[in-house]
Amino acid sequence: MERGRFELLDKPKPTLQDSRDAIVRVTLASICTSDLHIKHGSVPRAVGGITVGHEMVGIVEQVGSDVATVSVGDRVAVNVETFCGECFFCRRGYVNNCTDPDGGWALGCRIDGGQAEYVRVPYADRGLNRIPDTVSDEQALFAGDILATGYWAARISEIAPDDTVLIIGAGPTGICTLLCVMLKRPERIIVCERSPERRRFVREHYPEVEVVGPEKCLAFVRETSPRTGADVVVEAAGGDDTFRLAWECARPNAVVTVVALYDKPQLLPLPDMYGKNLTFKTGGVDGCDGAEILRLIGRGEIDTTSLITHRYPLSRIAEAYDLFESRCDGVIKVAVNCGG
Ligand SMILES: [Zn+2]
Ligand SMILES: [Zn+2]
C-alpha cells in the first residue's frame, strides 16, 4: 500500500494464531471514513500493506480452543476494537486503550481487517457479538464501529432530560450519534450539517430534529437556547472550522465531546474560552457495548439501514471507494458483499 493508493489483492486465507482467535467468513463489510484517513496517511499507526476494513459482519468459520462465547456457524458482528478485557484500561471500560499489543483499533489498521472474504479476530470472546436471529446482516453492519462510536459518544456526554444537544456533522457517524442521543430523550436536538443533501436526509428521516447549516449555527443556537448555548455539543464532523464551532456553540459549563478524527491539528484558544468552564471529552470509541447495541437494534430502537445507500460486490470495491470518497449520488454508507 503506497500512501494514497488502495488495491484489491489476493492474500492467503488467515489462520488462527492464538487459542483466543476466531476466523470469520465475512458476509458484509462497509467502508468507513477512517479507511480514507488511512488511505491519505492521517492514521500514523496504520501499517502499510494492511488489509483495511473494520466494520463487518460474518459467520464464525473457526475458533481457537480458548474461545467460549461464540461457536462455528454463529452469525456475528465484528468489533472495531480488540481488547483483552483484563488490563487496567479494559477493566474500567476504556477498551480503546487496552495495553495488549493488538489492543485498541488494530483490525484493518495494524492487523489485516475485513474488506476481504475472511478475517482473523483476536480475543474473539470480546471482539465478536452474536447477532440476534431477528436482526439482518444489514441491520447489524454498523454495530461494531460507527454505531458503537455514536453509542459511546452519547454515553459519555452526560445528557440530561432538559438539555439541548447540538450534534455537528450528519455524516455516517454523526447520524449514528444522533440515533443514540435520541435514546437519551433530551428536550431538543439540533443537527448542524454543511451538505444540503445530508440536511435533507436528516429532515426526512428524523422530523423531530432541528437542522441548521454551519454558517447560521452559532446564531441559531445562541438565540434559541435559554442558556445562551447548547448544554451538550458533540462534534462529529472533523472539518476545518468545526472544532471551533463546537466550543463556541456550547453554553458555559457545557460538555463538548469530540468524536471526529481530524486530518489537521486543531487550535485550542484557551484565552478565548477563559471563564467558559467547558469540559472537553475527546478520543476514539471505547467499543464495549456491542451486545447492548445489537439488543437495541433487535427491539427496533435503533435502525441504521437507511444509511446504506449503495451496495457493491467485493470485486468492485474500488468503485465503492471512489463513490464513497466523492460523496456523489447521495452516498452515506456503502455495503460491500464479501461473498461469504
Ligand atoms: Zn470506522
Ligand atoms: Zn486490555
Residue 85 belongs to a domain with what CATH number? 3.90.180.10
Question: Could you tell me if 153 and 140 lie in one domain?
Answer: no
Strands 22-30 and 56-63: antiparallel
CATH code for the domain in which residue 221 is found: 3.40.50.720
Residue 9 domain flag: no
- Cα–ligand 2 centroid distance for 300 (angstroms): 32
- Cα–ligand 2 centroid distance for 121 (angstroms): 15
Residue 276 domain flag: yes
* Residue where a domain terminates, one of 257, 282, 307: 282
Listed in sequence order, the residues at least 6 apart from 340 whose beta carbon sits closer than 8 Å to its beta carbon are 25, 26, 27, 58, 59, 117, 118
Residue 13 domain flag: no
Residue 135 domain flag: yes
- Cα–ligand 1 centroid distance for 242 (angstroms): 19
* Residue where a domain terminates, one of 267, 282, 297: 282
Nearest ligand to the CA of 284 is 1
Question: Could you tell me if 165 and 267 lie in one domain?
Answer: yes
- Cα–ligand 2 centroid distance for 92 (angstroms): 9
- Provide the pLDDT for residue 3: 64
Please state, in angstroms and as integers, the Cα–Cα distance from residue 59 to each residue in 12, 104, 257, following that order: 18, 22, 35
Please state, in angstroms and as integers, the Cα–Cα distance from residue 338 to each residue in 22, 29, 181, following that order: 18, 7, 31
- Cα–ligand 1 centroid distance for 315 (angstroms): 21
37 lies in which domain range? 22-145+286-337
Question: Could you tell me if 175 and 239 lie in one domain?
Answer: yes
Nearest ligand to the CA of 88 is 2
Question: Could you tell me if 152 and 137 lie in one domain?
Answer: no
- Provide the pLDDT for residue 2: 54
Question: Could you tell me if 316 and 213 lie in one domain?
Answer: no
- Provide the pLDDT for residue 236: 98
- Cα–ligand 1 centroid distance for 273 (angstroms): 31
Nearest ligand to the CA of 97 is 2
Look at the chain and report how many structural domains it folds into: 2
Q: What is the dihedral of CA 152, 70, 50, 93, to 10 degrees?
A: 30
Question: Could you tell me if 189 and 134 lie in one domain?
Answer: no
Question: Could you tell me if 275 and 302 lie in one domain?
Answer: no
- Provide the pLDDT for residue 1: 45
Helix (H) or strand (E) holding 169: none
In order along its 340 residues, the chain shows pLDDT tens digits of 456 789 999 999 999 999 999 999 999 999 999 999 899 888 888 999 999 999 999 999 999 999 999 999 999 999 999 999 999 999 999 999 999 998 999 999 999 999 999 999 999 999 999 999 999 999 999 999 999 999 999 999 999 999 999 999 999 999 999 999 999 999 999 999 999 999 999 999 999 999 999 999 999 999 999 999 999 999 999 999 999 999 999 999 999 999 998 888 999 999 999 999 999 999 899 999 999 999 999 999 999 999 999 999 999 999 999 999 999 999 999 999 998 6
Residue 17 domain flag: no
Residue 10 domain flag: no
- Provide the pLDDT for residue 42: 82
Cα-flanking dihedrals φ and ψ of residue 145, to 5°? -135, -85
Nearest ligand to the CA of 95 is 2
Task: State the Cα–Cα distance between residues 308 and 39, nearest whole angstrom.
Answer: 22
